[in-house]
Every structure is written in structure tokens, then in C-alpha cells.
Structure 1
């Protein structure tokens, strides 16, 4: 087949799986243990009343993730390097610094949740499990090749189907769920303030539309380009560009829809099993799994717990990797999982440091839900200027050449940015 000719459309599951990659992994990584805790708290506290946020964010998430992937593929550079072209240096470094902080908090929460989930299922002391998961996450990126790492991450996305199985194992009042999801004020918990509601909305949005996902998907498109030396020369060819942009679109659609369907399943599962039985406060995803046991049975408990482990093993490398990509791109270091340790020492040093600090942080007795909510809020706040910069880049013919984003793509991108800005503004106003 000619390099200039579009690839044939996928006709089998195997063909489709080969076309899926950065978008699928990015979407699945969005449902990490910290995200599971946030969605579980939303379901336990507000029942079905916050499901609307996930319905709203699905098309917006698709639009912004397609933009990040497009920027990486077209420019051959990650988001950090591209944002530095349109923002002052201090702004870029501040945003990247906050991203690293939020990612490290997420890593600590995810490793702690994985260790607690394993301890609940098989027993043992929690600290060795924490250290083991931290070491495994580092080894997965430093020791294994890029191809093996991506292959493993793709297989780990299957862990998310455990939450579909949980939904199938419990009784769901679907009419009530749809009514409350489409009419958020149909149920408002007693004793909950507007500030509490706004903070949880921002937390859900912040954990769903997260900056680390932007950086990861863009960087993975750059990695794929580096593995195809002919890509830069052929990018200007209309057929080649159309084929690869179509692949990015398909990959992103599947990944983001998959991600938000799983998130809705988690909200519904916890609303049915926890809220309906008086459990309205969840501190961790592991606690959500434990709370399921007496209500939904051992099967649902084990599925929920195993899903935490699988998504954590998927998300921690994405969190540490996105931080490493962002820092390396801004500082001009060589970066990428396709390089070995000696070629990109700074890049791998960030991965190791973020994972080690997160692992050690998971051993401290911190209030996990506060850490998760603050991390999600930080993500929500910094996502707004990052998304604005991304849209400037996507519309810039100087940077994107002839492959600037379409008018429809601009609409969804700016809509996503407006939703995030409005949510953050509402939270700040109601917190006074």
C-alpha cells in the first residue's frame, strides 16, 4: 500500500483495535481511582443529580481532546512547546508547575486507592502494596519499550468494563435516573449549600476535562510521528493528512465516549447502592468499593475493587508521563518513551520523581477526599488558560499551516472553555 493512500476503513475488531491508541488510553486514564472517588462522591451525595455534567462534557471533551491530538500530530511538538509559542514564559512555567503539583497529588491518591483495594480483597499490610505499585509504575515506563508500554496500557482499558458489570448486578430505577439527570434540581440533598454543589460540579468537570489528558494525548501523537520518519514529509499531502486526522477523530470519539459512559456507570452504581441506603460521604474509591459489599454483594464489591487496581495501573503512568512531557517540552529537554533512559534522563527523572513523591505521599494519613477535590479544582482552574492557548494554537496558520481547526471544532473548543470558566467562576462566587 502506498504511503500516500488512505488506509482502508476498519472492518474487524482487530482492525479497529489497531487504529485505537492515544485517544482510547487517554479516555480510560480519565477514570482513574481519584476520578472514581469523585464520581462516587457525586453519586453518594447527589444521587443522579450530577449525571448531567457528564452528559454535557462528552461532546466538549471530544472537541478539546481532538484539538490536543491534532496539535501534536500537525506540529510534531507537544503542548508545552506549543503553549510557549503563544504565552509568556512565566505563564507557561506557572501552568506546567501547577500541572505537576496536581498530577503528583493524583498519583498519591491513585496508588493509595490501589493498595487499599488489594488489601480489602486479599489482605496484608497496605504499605508494601503502595511501594509495589509505585515501583511497578516506574518500571513500566523506564524499563519496557514504548511499544510494550502502549500495548499494556491498551489492555488495561478493559478493566473499566468492571463498572458496567456492577451496573448489571444491581437494580437501577432508570426512569428516576433519567429524570434527575436531566433535571438537576429534582433532588437536592438537605444540608448541602450552593458552595458545596458548585465545588462538586467543578471537581467533576476538573476530573473529567483534565489538563494532564491534553498533554498526554498530544505527546502520544508526537511519539507516533517519531516512529514514522516519513510522516513530516507527507503531512502536507491532502490524502495522508485526511487519513490521519480521520484516525485521530475515530480514536478520540471512542476513547472519550467510553470514558464518560464508565463515569456515568460509577455515578449510577453509587447512587443506587450508597445514597439510597444513607451513605452520603465517600472518602476514597476504596471506601466506595467497601460500602458496596453489604448492599450490592460480594461480586459487585470485588468487581469495583479490581477496577480500581486496573485503572490505577493505567492512570499513574499517564499522570507521571504527562508531567514529564510538559516539563521537558518547556525546558527544551529531549523527551519521549521511545527514547531510552540515557537519551532522555531529565524526562525519565521527572517520571521517577513524580511517582516516588506520589508513592511516599500515599503513605501519609491525609484527608483523601479533600486532596482529591483540591486536585480536581486546581485542574479545573488551570484548564481554562491552557484551553484558551490551545485554541489560539489550533486557529493559528503560522503554527498549524493549512491544517487549522474547522469552525465547528472551534465552536466545541470554545464551548468547553466557557463551561469550565463558568463553573470555576460560580465556585469562586459561592465560596465567599
Structure 2
């Protein structure tokens, strides 16, 4: 197998658990995609409208996300290249490459809309800033975080994002300590079922916010940036072991927070008027659990918006670079990708509705990222000893079929007006 041009030296780790700690980090950055404001809006809406009905969707999505993110990380480690970069090398026609780039770019822009809107809403809740001003501030902060990555490298960027993840987890989970969760209903919510077309719509939104296409693209790039090409043998095996731990920790945190958000909404917001928006949910949480919990929720939402929009912009830059072999200055790209979110704020579209719908757009982008990922990671000529085992490919294939089936079902329901 020819070694890719990108070859970054990776320190040789020992087999001791503490020696694996320096290798952790990329999954926590990618995992921020599972804690973005779109997740908050989707899970909050699901809990407020349907109670515990869709708990199973969050759990299923997080379980699939573990496998998917590990495959993406493994691809970067075993090839020294990102998923967009590998796809850019394999398209036979320029038209095909541009068509794929357009859909991937639309998904990245939908992601950015959710993240900027979430940050804007949080700044409005905390400081009573106009949404447009909050959107601009969120974009500027994300730009500064990206500059940190480009100038100081991946590790300082990972540390900042990890700090924001801690704030997100504390901010969103604090309320559950005071919310009267119904344990029996939680267990019932683990049984897969839908109630109506609205629950299917929210399920697609939750999955779009959980198994996120841009996180699939980004994770392979993050491991490439951190490790480069890792040769076959003991070093790669240890890096992959650390990566499995990394992905597990990141997604346990993300999954727990997402379930808690839905349970918090189910326990305190179900049947309460006005909770179909994040502003209304924040007010209802304040009324039910007190202003301190409401403020912590808003702080978590702000950290979510700032961290996730940085990772989303990183993914968008990688998509363009890998597929089109075009490098655009970071500031220019950040300004361009901010425009859709700012337009939504200017024309007065309901931000929470835009957040939920953006997650539905993401769900339709999942197959375009997931199917190529599975196909590439099952190629021995590309991954060598790290090629998928047969059962890994089967599980990943099942996940792809489930996600695609849900999207087709959603299209039918919307088309028939069910």
C-alpha cells in the first residue's frame, strides 16, 4: 500500500493506559457536533411535544454515532487523509466532484445556521442582545477559535473545545437534578415507535443532529492533523486503541447530555404553552426550576453555539479543500458561511424552527457521507491491517439502511401531508 503524501510523525506510545492520554482529543472536538444548538432544539422539542416517546431515537442515534465516528477516525489514521480528500481523488469527472461538493457544502451550511442561531439566542437570553448582534458575535468568536487551530496547532484547539464541552455538560445537565423524571416512562421511551408524522419529523431531526455528516467529514481530518499517516504495526494498534477510548468518552458525554435535555423537557415542559421555542423553553425552565437553572441552561447553549460553529467551519473548509482542492482564506470563508444564518435573523424567521429544520437537512446528508465511509473502510488495499471486520461492515450497513429508510419515510409523509 503506498504511503500517502501526508506523513506526520506520531510519538511511539507504550501500552500503559496513562500513556494513551496524550493521544486523546480529536473525538472530543468531533463530538461537539453532537452537542450543538440543533441537538438542543430537536431534543427539547421532542420532549416538550411527545414526552418520553423518542428517548429510543436519541439512544439509537448515539449508538450508531460511536461506530461511525470510529470508522472516520480510523480512516484518517490509516491513510493520512480525510474522507473529503479521498473522495476528491476518486471522482472520475469534474461534474461529479462538484455535485458531491454542493450537497456536502449545503449540509455544512445547514450546520452553521443551527450553530450561529443557537449562539445568538443564548446571547439574547443572557445579555438581552439583538439576535443579529448575537449572531455576528458568535461568528467572530468562532473565527478566533479557528485562528487558534491554524496558528497554534490541534492540541490548544482541542483543549479549548474540551473546556467548552465541560461547560455545555454542566449547563444542560444541572436542571435534571431538580426535575421529577418518571422512570417508568423513560423505560417505555426506549421501545421504538412513532405516534404521528410529527414524531417522525422530530426523529429525523434528532438523528440529523446526532449522526451529523460534517462530523463524519471532520473526524478523519482531525486525526490526520493530529497523527498524520500512522504505519501499520504496534504504533497504529495503540493509536487506534486510544481512539476507541477517545470516541467512547466523547459520545458517552454527548449521549448523556442529549438524553438529559429530552428528559428535562419531558419532565418540565410537556403541555406548557410557548415551549416550542428555545426562548419559551428557557422561560418555562426558569418558572419550573428557578432562574439559576435557567441561566445555566443559557450558558450551556452559548458554549454549544461557540464550540460547534468552530468545528462546523473547520469541517466546511476541509470539504472544500478535499473535494475541490481549493484553499480559501479562513476569514473570507467564515464571512460567507455566516450569511445564511444572518439572513434568517434579519428576515425574522423563527430561530427555533430554523434550528429544527436545519437538522432535517442534515439527516438527508447522512447517506452521502456514511455510504462512502463504509465502502472505503472495507478496502484492504487502502487500510491494510485496519480494514473493517465483516461484522463491522454489517453493523455500519444496517445503520446506513436505517437512516436512509427513515429519510424516505419522512419524504413520503411530507408529500402525502400525513
Question: Which among 14, 19, 34 is matched to residue 7 of structure 1?
Answer: 14
Instruction: Tell me how far 1:165 sits from its aligned partner.
Output: 1.4
Q: CA RMSD in A?
A: 2.5
Is this contact kept in 1: 2:38–2:358, CA < 8 A? no
1:429 matches 2:412: yes
- Output the CA distance in 2 between the equivalents of 1:225 and 1:349: 28
**What corresponds to 2:316 in structure 1?**
323
Question: Which among 113, 116, 119 is matched to residue 111 of structure 1?
Answer: 116
**What corresponds to 1:337 in structure 2?**
none
- Output the CA distance in 2 between the equivalents of 1:76 and 1:123: 46
**What corresponds to 1:239 in structure 2?**
234
CA shift digits 1:109-164 (9 cap, x unpaired): 32233233233233344433322221111122125522332221111110222222
Residues 2-401 of structure 1: pairs in structure 2 closer than 5 A? 6-11=13-18, 18-87=22-91, 89=93, 90-142=95-147, 145-146=152-153, 147-159=155-167, 160-182=169-191, 184=193, 188=195, 194-226=196-228, 232=229, 235-236=231-232, 238-275=233-270, 277-279=271-273, 282-283=276-277, 285-333=278-326, 345-346=328-329, 349-355=332-338, 357-359=340-342, 361-401=344-384
Is this contact kept in 2: 1:113–1:286, CA < 8 A? no
TM-score, structure 1 as length reference: 0.86
Is this contact kept in 2: 1:108–1:360, CA < 8 A? no
Instruction: Tell me how far 1:282 sits from its aligned partner.
Output: 1.5
5+ residue gaps, structure 2, are: 1-9
Is this contact kept in 1: 2:15–2:238, CA < 8 A? no
Stretches of 4+ moved more than 6 A in 1?
none
Is this contact kept in 2: 1:134–1:359, CA < 8 A? no
- Output the CA distance in 1 between the equivalents of 2:117 and 2:126: 14
- Output the CA distance in 2 between the equivalents of 1:416 and 1:86: 24
Is this contact kept in 2: 1:324–1:351, CA < 8 A? no
3-state SS of paired residue (2:52): coil
Out of 201-210 and 368-377, give the one that drifted further. Answer: 368-377
Is this contact kept in 2: 1:66–1:248, CA < 8 A? yes
- Output the CA distance in 1 between the equivalents of 2:335 and 2:403: 31
- Output the CA distance in 1 between the equivalents of 2:266 and 2:352: 18
Aligned CA distance change for structure 1 residues 372 and 119 (closer, same or farther; 3 Å): closer
Aligned CA distance change for structure 1 residues 57 and 119 (closer, same or farther; 3 Å): closer
Out of 113-122 and 415-424, give the one that drifted further. Answer: 113-122
Is this contact kept in 1: 2:103–2:365, CA < 8 A? yes
The alignment of Structure 1 onto Structure 2 pairs a total of residues equal to 402
- Output the CA distance in 2 between the equivalents of 1:137 and 1:303: 21
**What corresponds to 2:398 in structure 1?**
415
5+ residue gaps, structure 1, are: 189-193, 227-231, 334-343
3-state SS of paired residue (1:321): helix
3-state SS of paired residue (1:182): coil
TM-score, structure 2 as length reference: 0.88
Is this contact kept in 2: 1:207–1:379, CA < 8 A? yes
Instruction: Tell me how far 1:58 sits from its aligned partner.
Output: 2.5
Is this contact kept in 1: 2:77–2:220, CA < 8 A? yes
- Output the CA distance in 1 between the equivalents of 2:247 and 2:129: 39
- Output the CA distance in 2 between the equivalents of 1:142 and 1:256: 26
**What corresponds to 1:341 in structure 2?**
none
**What corresponds to 2:7 in structure 1?**
none
Out of 310-319 and 405-414, give the one that drifted further. Answer: 405-414
- Output the CA distance in 1 between the equivalents of 2:322 and 2:112: 21
